[in-house]
Amino acid sequence: MAFLADTYPAPDDDYWYKSRSLAGIPGTTITQQAAPQVAAVMACVRVIAETVSSLPYGVYRWLPNDRGKESARDHAVDDLIRREPNDDQTAMEFWEQMMVHCLTNGNAYARVSYTAPSRRTPRSMVPIAPQTVTAERDKETGVKFYRIRRESRPDEIVIGDEILHIPGLGYDGLMGYSPVEMARRAIEMGQAAEIYAGNFFANGALPQSYATFPQVLSKDAREELKKWLKANHGGLTNAHNPGIFESGGKIESLNLNHRDMQFLELRRFQIEEIARIYRVPLHLVGDLSRSTNNNIEHQSLEFAMHTIRPWLVRIEQRVNKTLFGVREADTFFSQFNMEGLLRGDSAGRSALYATLISHAVMTPNEARSKENLNWRPDGDKLFIQGAMVPVDMAGQRPEQTPDPKPTAKKAKTAKP
C-alpha cells in the first residue's frame, strides 16, 4: 500500500504523536514584517497604532507658582509632534509608523536633526527601520549609544539626543522585547490555522484522501498519479468530479469532521491569545461573541487606561528627555490629550459637566471647549451651586435696590 501525501504522513502515523522541536511549525513564516499577515495581529497593531496617532499631542509650559499649565504653540517641538515631524509625513503618519515599529519590533527609532549647534533647536524627526538599529552601552564608560547598520558601508555610531528611541517592555534598560518574537508560538498557531483553512478549500474542500493499489507502484507511476489527481480533482472547480482507477486502484477518504477537530474553537482561541498579548478587548478585533451593550463601554475604558495610556506615557517621557534637554525640561513638557477616549456617553458627560460647573471646578467655556463648541463672552466665570452667583460673590447678600417706580400714595380726601 502506497500513501500519496503532499507534505505530511498519514493521520494515523506515529509522526503526529512524537514530541516536536522548538524550530517552529513547518510551513509557517513568522517575522516582524510578516506577522501582521495574521488577521488577529494586524487587527491589534492597527487599533493601537491608529488610536495613539490620532490623539491630540502638543507642548505645554508650566505656569509659575504651580498655577497649572498653558499651551506652548510657539515652541519648535510643538510643531514637530503636532503637525509636521519631517518633509514627507504628517504627525499622524509619523506616530502611526513609530507605533507599528513598537508593536512588532518592540522598539521605534527616529533620527533627530537640529539647527545651529548654539541653539540646538529640533528641526525634523525621520523614522529609522528598527531592524537596522541596536542600542548598546560602552563597557568602559557606560555611555549608551546606537549602532545603525548600513549596506556596503561601515556601521554608524550615534550618541546622545540625535536618536529618539521609544522602547517597549524590556529587561535590560536598553531595548524592548519584540512582541512578535515573544509571542511566536501563538502567532504561528494562528498562521497555521489560516494556512490549513486556505489549503482545505484550495484542494476542493474535501478531507485528505489516499489511493491504494494491490501492487507496488514505481516512483514515476506515483508521481504521474499524483499529478493526475491534482489536475482532475484538485481545486474548487474540480470538486466532486467522479474518479476512475484501473488495475484495482481505489480512493479511500478520511472522514475528517472540523467540528470534532474543534477547528473553529482553535481559531477563536488563537484570536483571544493574540489579543491577550497586545491587551486589546475582543470587540475591537471584531469578535463580539462575548460582548454586550453594557460591557463594551467599560472594555473601551479599560483599553484606554491599561493599553493606550502606558504607550502615551512612554512616548511623552522619551520626547521630553530627548527633545527638551536639561535647559528646558523644567519649563516645557509634551502631553497627549486623552479626553476623547474617556468621554463616555452624552448623558454621562452632561451630568459630569453640570457637577463640575456647579461646584466652581470648571467654567462653562471650558466645558464648551471639551465639546468642540465656541466660547461665549460671559462663560469665563466660576459658579457655585445655589443661586449660581460668581464665586467671588459667595457669602455676600444681594444689595437692596430701590424700586425704580414707587407707587404714590393716594391722598385722602374728605367726603363731602
What is the maximal distance between C-alpha atoms in the chain?
150
| Alpha helix segments (H runs only) across 238-308 | 258-261, 263-278, 295-303
What pLDDT score does 191 carry?
A: 63
* CA–CA dist 360, 395 (Å, integer): 14
The secondary element (H helix, E strand) that includes residue 133 is strand 133-137
What pLDDT score does 414 carry?
A: 52
What pLDDT score does 21 carry?
A: 43
* CA–CA dist 276, 287 (Å, integer): 13
What pLDDT score does 107 carry?
A: 94
Cell 502611526, residue located: 96
What pLDDT score does 65 carry?
A: 79
Are 106 and 91 within 8 A, CB to CB? no
Are 35 and 187 within 8 A, CB to CB? yes
Q: Which residues pair with 109 in a beta bridge?
A: 128, 165
Cell 472522514, residue located: 255
Are 101 and 131 within 8 A, CB to CB? no
- Residue 386 has which C-alpha cell? 445655589
Q: How many CB atoms lie within 10 A of CB 345?
A: 8
What pLDDT score does 407 carry?
A: 55
Q: How many CB atoms lie within 10 A of CB 146?
A: 21
Q: Please, what are the averages of pLDDT over each run of 10 residues along the chain (416 residues)?
A: 42 49 50 67 91 93 84 92 94 96 93 78 92 90 90 87 92 86 71 65 55 72 78 63 61 55 64 85 79 72 90 95 85 87 68 81 83 79 73 66 54 53
Global pTM reads: 0.68
